[in-house]
Amino acid sequence: MVEVTAHTVVKLGESKYCIVLLKERSGPRLLPIWMRVHRAQPIVLWMKSIRLARPRTHDLFIEVAERLGGELLRVAMYAVEKGTLLSRVILLKGDGEIAVQCGASDAIAVAITKDIPIVVADEIMRVAGFTSRQSKVEASTTESEEEDKLAAFRDFIEGLDLSGF
């Protein structure tokens, strides 16, 4: 498994889709995850330090898990099945771990909210990950580095075959 961080989110024009870009914590690879814009909203809000007064679905999950005595350990993106990235939230309860399947967007939202690791199966990173033309992309969100983040997306988008859409 490869540990990644939530790097940035880019909306694809006027479509209902966006790409959440995960960055390998100790390397240069990036992993694009396509999702509907409404699924990425909690991730974007968290990245912009915007907190809502009412809880979202992932907040509900976190609260229920913790009130039942679970400790959130990590989220894992472990397989791709029929074009869908399968993810799990891993909890510690007593002496054992419990894996709860969820969508990638909820897994990322839980991880960034609770500051727990996001791990991706090696095979997924090997097949779907890519390296930007840049030698290093920092996960910082300062304005001076925004152009560097977008350059990674430009590299990725330029290589897309959108003829099937």
Q: Which domain holds residue 71?
A: 2-158
Q: What is the pLDDT of residue 30?
A: 94
User: 65 lies in a domain?
Assistant: yes
> What is the mean pLDDT of the segment spanning 19-27?
93
CA–CA separation, 115 vs 109, rounded Å? 10
Residue 44 lies in a domain: yes
Strand-pair category, 17-24 with 118-120: unpaired
Helix extents (H) in the chain: 37-47, 57-67, 104-114, 122-128, 143-158
Instruction: Enumerate the β-bridge partners of residue 71.
Output: 92
Unique residue bearing structure tokens 């498994």: 1
What pLDDT does 56 receive? Answer: 83
Tell me the average pLDDT of the chain: 83
- Of 33-37, 63-67, 97-101, 159-163, the one with minimum mean pLDDT is 159-163
Residue 160: predicted pLDDT: 58
Residue 103 half-sphere exposure toward CB, CA atoms < 13 A: 12
In a domain, 84, yes or no: yes
Structural domains in the chain (count): 1
| CATH code of the domain covering residue 16 | 3.10.690.10
**Residue type for position 163:** S
| 132 located within any domain | yes
